[in-house]
Amino acid sequence: MTRRSVLIAPSILSADFARLAEEVARVEAGGADLLHIDVMDGHFVPNLTVGPSIVEALRKVTKLPFDVHLMMTNPDSFIKEFAEAGADYLTVHVETCPHLHRTVQAIKEGGVKAGVTLNPATSLSSVEEIVPDADLLLVMSVNPGFGGQHFIASVLEKISRARQLIDRTGSRAALEVDGGVKVENAARIIQAGADILVSGSAIFSSSDYGATIKAMRHAVRKAMPGAGAAAARR
């Protein structure tokens, strides 16, 4: 399987919500490839964030693709709303979807790419049957709910096995990693097999978003010259 260019997806969970449109404009100008939007329900994860109305509002101010991560106990009830609001990807947790194949098909029927994610302690075997149907496989490298957490180092081996699973099954799913991603560990994550790096606090707590994104690209180039060079041309 030919490796894709590595993409960087700033997570607005760490952005200044009082200036959200400006924050999005800054990461877009800084070279972001996607915008990662965490939707938390205060039930599946201990936090509340945004709903379809925020996604719809942001859709008007940026051309970046929206990677909408549904950290919810009942994602099926909101697929249509988030699809209509402007999501390009809708990612659901295997832990909350008893009929995962049906959920993935419902997302696709809404004209959106379907992603599946699993928490750090959830076995990769839980997504083995759905990976051929998914457009995105998201491996969480922190326990979801809050930004600014430290990357769980043991997840690196899981990322490697996820890469092998995708390649072995012939899936076209992109492999995304979310949680504690920063310039200092980007190389190791890419070497493990990731295609998309989700980064929140590392970007939004920096003084220059574009410089931080550029530094991540530099780390990618060092880790995988081919993929990094392609990403740098974006």
Catalytic site residue 38? yes
What integer pLDDT is reported at residue 132 of this predicted model?
A: 97
pTM, rounded to two decimals? 0.92
Domain 7-232 classification at class level: alpha beta
Catalytic site residue 178? yes
**Long-range residue pairs from 123-126, CB within 8 A, at least 24 positions apart, any chain:** 124/158, 124/161, 124/162, 124/165, 126/94
| Torsion over CA: 42, 45, 49, 53 (sign) | negative
State the Cα–Cα distance between residues 84 and 86, nearest whole angstrom.
5
Of the residues 33, 38, 41, 67, which is catalytic?
Answer: 38
The answer to whether the CB of 18 falls within 8 A of the CB of 41 is: no
What integer pLDDT is reported at residue 175 of this predicted model?
A: 98
State the Cα–Cα distance between residues 142 and 11, nearest whole angstrom.
14
pLDDT along the chain (234 residues), means of 10: 74 96 98 97 91 97 98 96 98 97 97 97 96 98 81 96 97 96 96 96 97 95 59 42
Helix (H, G, I), strand (E, B) or coil at 129: coil
Of the residues 41, 67, 135, 178, which is catalytic?
Answer: 178
What integer pLDDT is reported at residue 147 of this predicted model?
A: 73
